[in-house]
Chain A
Amino acid sequence: MANHSATHPKHVQHHFVDSNQQFESAKLGMWVFLVNEILFFGGLFCAYIVFRAWYPELFTQAALELNTFWGAVNTVVLIGSSLTVAMAIRSAQNNQKRGLEINLLITIFLACVFLVIKYFEYEHKLHLGIAPGSFWNPTEEIAAVLDHPKANIFFGIYYMMTGVHGLHVIVGIGLMVWLYLRARKGHFNSEYYTPVEITGLYWHLVDLIWIFLFPLLYLIE
């Protein structure tokens, strides 16, 4: 086939002219997808803005029920995981297989720590009857503090935002496990680390979204 160069590296797919075109395309594709993700979460942020504009006292009251300390810990955990995924990319660029594997593992570990903390946060709330939608059934103690008639709406938004974000974290973990397994098999080197790069981009966005979620939900007063 014409233009089927004899020096066609294995990792370059057939419709690309060379490795660079493939890499640039993958990055652009992922950036475009991230813009789409921003719009997706944007809808939820918009709902937040609208309801907060209408019921500001609700938001400041309800936010007190959220555990700021653990929210902050989660923020540090995610920022740390963004650092380690960037280090993983650096390792791949420098042909450091071991470094790549270790950094991916740490990122996965930190992401799991995030989920575990989230789990305990949710569990604690559900225990108190602070549940989304039709399961809203606060204990007397809570109902005394959270006496705003629209309190269920705040937590509906809270659960949707953190829930959708959490789903994205789970997907990210899945991707990074896949990357780790491929790294183990030696698929990545300085010539080809595209999947690591674009998964890293995705992970940075997941982190960025939390960085907006945290102050808007936990730090308002």
Chain B
Amino acid sequence: MKREVATEIVDSLKEAGVDFVASLTEANLHDLVMALGEDKAIHHVPVTREEEGIGICAGAYLGGKKPAMVMMNAGFLLSTNALATVCIHPGIPVLMLIGHSGGVGEENAGHATVGALTEPVLQAMHIVYEKVGCFEQIRPTIRDSQMLARSSRRPTAIVLNKQALR
């Protein structure tokens, strides 16, 4: 990810009202995670496991924060029970930014299965998501996905493919 993409995502999150972000890094998310750590307007919590981040975001929401979770799709798949029990069941929103390993543009064969499972699992969980593949889509998609998360009291997701993350 180029630094200007990371800056665009952080600025878009702030413009959408997000003030609290949990993250688990990965090579493609590195610049974003570092930018989140430097931003004074966002409380950034690096976590050890993605489902932990879902719990932290849900707790922050109950205390009046507007949370988001940054992770790769492997972490989303790991978080499905947390999302079901902590967010969807009681009605707690969290905006998820999910890097799409194994999506279009993937070079590493090892990510293919996780990549192929990501959208079907989002659909099976009835989580509304948008796919972002270019710089211009970042800002409006973050704004609208956050709007829906808040109004529906449900998690929403933005799936960032390799092109968006480059």
User: Do chains A and B interact in one complex?
Assistant: no
